[in-house]
């Protein structure tokens, strides 16, 4: 399902708090992506799909216990209505700490799709039948619990949109990011060459592009080994798989 070059990646965000997204989506890279016609963001309030006279979207858990659970009705109706607003169906992603961990590889996959529908939860969780009855993929942004999926949805939108071809100004800006090649990014410096006694490594001022590239690669590898050895192991495993 490759996206044609000029077609925008469409996000539909299902949330109880659409107002928290506005400034985030308007500002900086995400706003520019929209202006360039490379991304679209559509916000939908799940509460609008409640048929309860008080527009309730949550209720007490069967079997007792603390907190409230998101009800099936508003979520099913909201998803079904939004799904019909555009083609194709795209991917339907529930933000939850129980999901597959979001990483750069998944961001890259998302950036190649036509449409992503994001479901943000609140309260103690979703009625389990939402998982059973709707075609959801569950995604977590890490092993911690947020009070809602909105901040997680913002992370997913940001990491995804910056990988859409044409969004970043410099052709190689995304290619040299941390994780782009399985390594953390090398150290970066800008002017002045000396600040409070701290100097920029000489090689970066040398104009020797081959030496600079070698230095950066070595720094990235060393930094990854010290901080995130697990990434090197994964990379070795991938290389072995590809070789074998």
Annotated catalytic residue 162:
yes
* Residue 78 or 141 having the CB closest to ligand ADE: 141
Beta bridge partners of 39: 9
Structure tokens at 56: 């309730």
Choose the binding region for ligand ADE from 10-18, 31-39, 144-152, 172-180 (rule: CB under 6 A): 144-152
Between 138 and 185, CB nearer to ligand ADE: 138
Closer Cβ to ligand ADE, 119 or 167, answer by number = 119
Helix or strand holding residue 50 (H, E): none
Decide if 124 is catalytic. yes
**What would the DSSP string read from start to end of 214-239?**
HHHHHHHHHHHHHH-HHHHHHHHHHH
Q: Shortest Cβ distance from residue 142 to ligand ADE (Å)?
A: 5
* Nearest residue (CB) to ligand ADE, 102 versus 215: 102
Cis peptide before 88 (omega within 30 of 0): yes
Q: Does 140 bind ligand ADE (CB under 6 A)?
A: yes
Residue nearer to ligand ADE on the CB measure, 149 or 182 = 149
Q: Is 125 in the site for ligand ADE (CB under 6 A)?
A: no
CB 143 to ligand ADE: min, Å: 7
Q: How many residues bind ligand ADE (CB under 6 A)?
A: 11
Smallest distance, Å, CB 78 to ligand ADE?
17
Q: Which of 71, 122, 162, 216 is catalytic?
A: 162
Does position 142 bind ligand ADE by CB under 6 A?
yes
Q: Which of residues 57-116 bind ligand ADE (CB under 6 A)?
A: 95-97
User: What's the first-to-final CA gap in the chain, in angstroms?
Assistant: 28
Q: How far is the CB of 96 from ligand ADE (least distance, A)?
A: 5
Q: Is 97 a catalytic residue?
A: yes
Euclidean distance between CA atoms 231 and 35, whole angstroms: 35
Residue 206's SS3 state is: coil
The torsion angle over the Cα atoms of residues 192, 195, 201 and 206, rounded to 10 degrees, is 30
Q: Closest approach of Cβ 244 to ligand ADE, in Å? A: 34
Burial class (CB in 10 A: 0-12, 13-18, 19+), 94: buried
Beta 69-70 vs 58-59: how paired, if at all?
antiparallel
Q: Is 149 in the site for ligand ADE (CB under 6 A)?
A: yes
**Dist CA 50 CA 28 (whole Å):** 34
User: CA-to-CA distance for 116 and 91, rounded, in angstroms?
Assistant: 5
User: Which positions are catalytic?
Assistant: 97, 124, 162, 177
Q: Which residues bind ligand ADE (CB under 6 A)?
A: 95-97, 140-142, 144-146, 149, 152
């Amino acid at each position: 399902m490759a996206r044609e070059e000029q077609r925008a990646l469409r996000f539909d965000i299902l949330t109880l708090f659409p107002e928290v997204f506005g400034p985030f989506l308007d500002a900086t890279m995400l706003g520019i992506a929209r202006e360039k016609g490379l991304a679209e963001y559509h916000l939908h309030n799940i509460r609008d799909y409640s048929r309860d006279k008080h527009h309730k979207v949550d209720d007490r858990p069967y079997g007792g216990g603390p907190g409230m659970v998101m009800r099936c009705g508003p979520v099913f109706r909201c998803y079904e209505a939004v799904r019909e607003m555009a083609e194709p169906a795209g991917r339907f992603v529930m933000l939850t700490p129980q999901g597959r961990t979001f990483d750069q590889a998944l961001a890259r996959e998302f950036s190649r799709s036509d449409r992503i529908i994001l479901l943000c939860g609140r309260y103690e969780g979703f009625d389990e039948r939402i998982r059973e009855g709707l075609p959801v993929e569950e995604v977590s942004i890490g092993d911690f619990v947020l009070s809602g999926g909105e901040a997680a949805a913002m992370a997913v939108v940001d990491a995804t949109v910056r990988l859409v071809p044409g969004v970043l100004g410099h052709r190689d800006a995304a290619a040299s990011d941390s994780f782009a090649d399985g390594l953390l990014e090398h150290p970066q410096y800008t002017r002045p060459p000396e600040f409070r006694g701290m100097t920029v490594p000489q090689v970066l001022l040398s104009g020797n592009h081959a030496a600079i590239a070698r230095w950066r690669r070595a720094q990235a590898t060393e930094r990854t080994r010290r901080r995130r050895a697990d990434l090197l192991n994964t990379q070795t495993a991938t290389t072995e798989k590809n070789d074998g």
